[in-house]
Structure 1
Amino acid sequence: MRVLVVEDEPDLAEAIRDGLRLAAIAADLAGDGDTALEMLAVNNYDLAVLDRDIPGPSGNDIAAHIVASAKPIPILMLTAADRLDDLASGFELGADDYLTKPFELRELVLRLRALDRRRAHNRPPVWEIAGLRVDPFRREVYRDGRYVALTRKQFAVLEVLVAAGGGVISAEELLERAWDENADPFTNAVRITVSALRKRLGEPWLIATVPGVGYRIDPASSDGTPAGEAR
């Protein structure tokens, strides 16, 4: 999951980003409305976390822009106000949820996970494929009943691949959705992470490499590709 966090308090914004990373959620930061609009124009996000009171176009303006876009995404508003009128106006603008400052980071993560499940209402909350069981909410993975310990980044990559339902995901898309804006587009981090993930999941290999295209979950894959390599 990749989230845009629009918050003009640097310490709070960085704390949110660091906390979301611990929950395997990639987060990009925008400190003002103009930057947020620019980032929305060039990146694909699953969710947006908006502070209402920011420099430039306000959080309300950003929310209206998202709702009017070709591919609207769920919006969680952050606000220091908890008056009913303020909440009502935010929901009228298109907010899907609200969180009043100060808040516990764990609650933010839980709310984002809930919004993500509602966004993909046709997707089961727990994925099961070829003996693999992935629970995004609890961040648990089992292979044939065996618990598989994954790093945060490995889990984020697996989540994107499983959600594709067997479709091919390019290395570029994995980098975009499982990392954040600071990721080096020329890095080999995707290949290394996928190779390590293959090894953690064990044989027969579930992650197939589609040469020149990307990766996909393939229940029938047993092509002998070594865990540390990608064809």
Structure 2
Amino acid sequence: MKLLLVEDEEELAAIIAKGLRKSGYAIDQAYDGEQAMYLYEVNEYDLIILDVNLPKLDGFEILNTIRDKDSSVKVLMLTARSDVEDRVTGLDSGANDYMIKPFDFKELEARIRMLLRISFSQTKAVLACGDLTLNTLSKTAYCGESLLPLTKKEFAVLEYLFLHKDAVVSSEQLIEHVWDSEADLFSNALKYHIHSIKKKINESGHNAEYIKNIRGQGYMLLEDRHGTAE
């Protein structure tokens, strides 16, 4: 999942971004309102973490502008503005959640997971596709009883496919949502990760083809499809 972190305190932003990257999220960072709007206009994000007190444009202005264009992107306000009036303003303006500094990082992660599940109409932390299961809470994946030894990036790719199960996901869409915008991707990076995930599923003793290559279109996560991808 790809997140935009908008926070003008650079030291705090670095700490939050480091923690979220360790959890497998792709993170873009903005340190003022104008930079945030630029990144929002040129990228697609699954969730935006938004401070209120920002240079150039404050968080409420950003939120109002985004909501005039987009009702679907999830926005979590993360701010020291703790007055009830501020919380009401944020929520009434379209924030999906409002969290006050100082905060516990584990709680921030939990709220992000919750919002992302809602974003994709998911109500459970454990997603299933046949014998293949993925736990978004523990960041683990199993095929039957076998734990799949996925890397963080492989888990992120598989998670995105799970959240778009039975739909074709293009390579561009996967790259857009799983890698940072500034990542220097070599041409076969995504293919390599898909191949590695398939190999680990097969090595678990399950011969089902869960990830199908759709020639010229992308990839699709399907239940118990046998055979070799094109």
The match for 1:32 is 32
* Residues 1:224 and 2:198 aligned together: no
The match for 2:85 is 85
In 2: Cα distance, 1:60 partner to 1:131 partner: 45
SS in structure 2 opposite 1:206? strand
Decide which moves more: 175-184 or 90-99.
90-99
In 2: Cα distance, 1:185 partner to 1:172 partner: 12
In 2: Cα distance, 1:121 partner to 1:166 partner: 14
| RMSD of Structure 2 on Structure 1 (CA) | 1.8
Listed as ranges, the matches of 1:16-165 within 5 Å are: 16-121=16-121, 124-165=124-165
Decide which moves more: 197-206 or 17-26.
197-206
SS in structure 2 opposite 1:82? coil
Contact 1:172 1:185 in 2 (8 A): no
In 1: Cα distance, 2:168 partner to 2:174 partner: 10
Uncovered stretches (5+) of structure 2, i.e. residues with no partner: none
**Could you tell me how far 1:185 is from its partner in structure 2?**
5.2
In 2: Cα distance, 1:86 partner to 1:151 partner: 40
**Structure 2 residue aligned with 1:205, among 195, 206, 209?**
209
The match for 2:166 is 166
In 1: Cα distance, 2:119 partner to 2:164 partner: 15
In 2: Cα distance, 1:172 partner to 1:13 partner: 27
1:114/1:123 Cα in 2 relative to 1: closer, same or farther (>3 Å)? closer
**2:60 maps to amino acid:** N
**2:188 maps to amino acid:** N
**TM-score, length-normalised on structure 1?**
0.90
**TM-score, length-normalised on structure 2?**
0.90
Q: Deviations over 1:54-80 (max 9, x none)?
A: 111111111111221134322111111
Uncovered stretches (5+) of structure 1, i.e. residues with no partner: 226-230
* Residues 1:215 and 2:219 aligned together: yes
The match for 1:228 is none
Aligned residue pairs, count: 226
